[in-house]
Chains A and B, each alone.
Chain A
């Protein structure tokens, strides 16, 4: 990050979301990103990517999980100004952009009806995607551990485990 030239101009940062670079100006005006804006807020309100959900805004439900440089992070606990130069993937970025083909995990969540209200689902899918990217055939306990910070009040856990494990077997 040090070599980022953007640091010369602290008023502007660039974040790459779903492979699209966005230049954002930091400031207090309505069209700017506030210094205290969380990444969740920027994604949802500035970039219109409302697929990322905010359940608690306190870092304890996992709903706002996105992938940053390959790792799952809580976007409600991450300040946008700290994301200069970072690559972020949100739920909107999982589908094949040209063909619209679903990520195998998305398909598996559909096939297993791995949701009830669906509000926790984007966060669950992003965390599972990060898991499978780093560990393509996880054991059940590893999936549980990767998702242990994810609150699902509807109790879709059992269906989610089936969905993630079956996507992993398919090499997702």
Chain B
């Protein structure tokens, strides 16, 4: 049974709730600095071209224009792994690639000036398919990457960065197998996570080495410590505003930051670069393209004996974080599939479309979506129930896996069988599952099918976190931690964790603004690390502050620090509340008492989420309706019920479940244009199309921190695509090779043409 807490596990209002419902919450575009200029970007109409000539005189002469920058005069900063992406280059590599930057007194003037810049291009052939891009005569995007192949190392992950899964003996594994299935599956929708708020940055220089950036970010510190190394190590102060959704994509915004900082430098004024929705769609952070070509071996009872093949990962025009996603994806595959023999190689390829960025799912979703269909094909032969397969093959305590930095970890997490069973019961899986490629029900032209998939990630204990907790004499506490608010409610959850340690009302716990100048280091809200990693640092800091308070109080109460307790701003000898003295008498009426906490990485506690889905397919129109979703997990201990539920519902957004059926960026391979870069043509789920959605969240406690909780938010999207893919296959008795399952593909599969 979960423990009874004062705040933990109870729904409490978000700390920023009042600001949000009254419109007082400040997002990046609500911020205007004195003398601030507006930056705009001239973008390429061609997918691949050399810039032969740029003429900027007319733009520069325009009234209100303060700077025009081209590849001739921008700073030499570079991003990408390894560094290969310039602020502006003499070559463009996708439709929408940046060609020139302008800064002006108003946004309108900046936009007008773009029209006055003349550019002459020499068009080059372009390539969009991963396997075509690595052929000998394919167009080359970068001189330094022959064959369009990017190196796979991530310097910060160290020399053993995981870029493949090689383990055991696959030959022997296939020999042992009763069933061998192979195929090529593509998850290449390149959907957009599409937070409602476009990305934006304001930059301002105070002297040549000191830069301040304001941004809507999920992880403000990335704008300091990652961007510093790309810009010649200026002292960057990163300030975060409220963030209108991110889903990974706004962890950082290297390009907008480069543009704003470059323009701010030449004008010596603050510059805002805030993308339009078209720019957001067409030039910012798509999901990686993912294709699996390979095979799996399995015994009749569902025991996996071998997985081998190549994972082709398409970054689009450049890669800023793709190698890290390959590393994490390779790690996650091993959590989902316990198998002694692996030979999974990866190829990271650049192509002529807008770049992929960091997106919730972070490599794991991409790999799962492409790899699972072949596993499921193997399961179909002996007709193994996929739920039983997941139960059998999801990593168990004591099982090992390679994680992103290449080390071998052994799971000290939990066995999620109970969560799997609870989810299956809530979904009524046993009644609905009729076997592979069999519908659950047929109602006239409509067929119902069910599908399931599970996902996990060991990133809950990823990277370092630091926090201070400062006790104030008025019985309030201030948490200093670099945590932004992009929707997860984590700032409020951290306040709950501290309030629980200190036993003071939640209203009396504050958290510092997102500002790298006032907060210690935190890696950011990536993966599902907020609860365990950041939480541990905050809890330790609160405990440390409380300990110091007890040490100060001990002589006053003539007792040992260990014998003391505190509640509502009083310190007393345990069990003797009447002995109490207030914090202010202990700390001093104007002084403070500060504790420090630090978290070191721990990849031994994988989280887990299983998603059951039910769809209805109209055999006449090819339309698919998602009817029901049940998500089941064990969170160890819920910190804030509405926040966790929201995170899981979020699997319907942010390029998640719906990438199975309708979400995609439609790339025209003749022109290199993405055709649906507006919110009318890019499909998204509306209120009228909400499926029934049930969350089953167990709280078994897990050995993490004081509250036994583990984060689970990030992975909610990941099992969605392959679960729905399977549900549709079962409904109509056909299988597919690529996502999304649009009506034309359904009709083709059932032998009908549109309009028939």
Q: Which residues of A contact B (CB under 8 A)?
A: 30, 34, 44, 49-58, 60-61, 63, 90-92, 94-95, 102, 106-107, 109-113, 115-122, 125, 143-145, 147-159, 161
Contact = CB atoms under 8 A, between A and B. Distances in A.
B483 to A, nearest CB: 14
B649 A155 contact: yes
A55 B11 contact: no
Contacts of B679: 56, 58, 60-61, 151
Interface of B: 11, 13-14, 16-27, 29-30, 106, 108, 193-198, 242-247, 276-277, 485-489, 640, 642-643, 645-647, 649-654, 678-680, 684-688, 690, 693
Given A118-B487, A155-B652, A110 B21 contact: yes
A153 B194 contact: yes
Contacts of A63: 196
B62 to A, nearest CB: 15
The listed residue with most B CB atoms (<10 A of its CB), out of A54, A109, A110, A113, is A113
Contact of A157 (B19, B198, B690): B690
B26 A50 contact: yes
A44 to B, nearest CB: 8
Given A51-B22, A153-B245, A153-B654, A117 B688 contact: no
Contacts of B277: 55-58
B23 A116 contact: no
Contacts of B654: 153-154
A91 B196 CA distance: 18
Contacts of A111: 13
Contact of B24 (A51, A117, A153): A51
A116 B650 contact: yes
Q: 8 closest Cβ contacts across the A-B interface?
A: A51-B23, A119-B244, A116-B487, A117-B487, A91-B23, A118-B20, A113-B642, A50-B30
B22 A92 contact: yes
Contacts of A151: 196, 679, 684
Contacts of A58: 277, 678-680
Contacts of B245: 116-117, 119, 153-154
The listed residue with most B CB atoms (<10 A of its CB), out of A110, A152, A155, is A155
Given A54-B29, A56-B679, A148-B687, A61 B22 contact: no
Nearest to B281: A56
A155 B680 contact: no
Contacts of B106: 30
A55 B14 contact: no
B13 A154 contact: no
Contacts of A107: 21
A106 B20 CA distance: 9
A30 to B, nearest CB: 8
Contacts of A54: 29
A63 B277 CA distance: 13
A113 B14 contact: yes
Given A102-B18, A116-B646, A155-B650, 18 more contacts: A91-B21, A102-B21, A106-B21, A110-B14, A112-B642, A115-B17, A117-B195, A117-B485, A118-B244, A121-B21, A144-B688, A152-B196, A152-B653, A153-B194, A153-B684, A154-B653, A155-B649, A155-B685
17 contacts: A58-B678, A94-B22, A95-B22, A102-B18, A102-B22, A112-B642, A115-B17, A118-B19, A119-B27, A144-B690, A145-B687, A152-B196, A153-B195, A153-B247, A154-B646, A157-B649, A159-B646
Contacts of A50: 23, 26, 29-30
A144 B687 contact: yes
A150 B25 CA distance: 19
B197 A147 contact: no
B471 to A, nearest CB: 28
A109 B688 contact: no
A108 to B, nearest CB: 9
A53 B27 contact: yes
Contacts of B195: 117, 119, 153
Contacts of A91: 21-23
A93 B22 CA distance: 9
A122 B645 CA distance: 21
A113 B489 contact: yes
A159 B652 CA distance: 14
B678 A53 contact: no
Contact of A154 (B24, B27, B242, B650): B650
Contacts of B196: 53, 55, 61, 63, 117, 119-120, 151-153
Nearest to B218: A117
A148 B686 contact: yes
Nearest to B21: A106
A67 to B, nearest CB: 13
B649 A118 contact: no
Contacts of A159: 642, 645-646, 649
B23 A110 contact: no
The listed residue with most A CB atoms (<10 A of its CB), out of B19, B27, B642, B652, is B642
Nearest to A156: B646
Nearest to A115: B20
A99 B423 CA distance: 47
Contact of A55 (B26, B197, B685, B688): B197
A44 B29 CA distance: 10
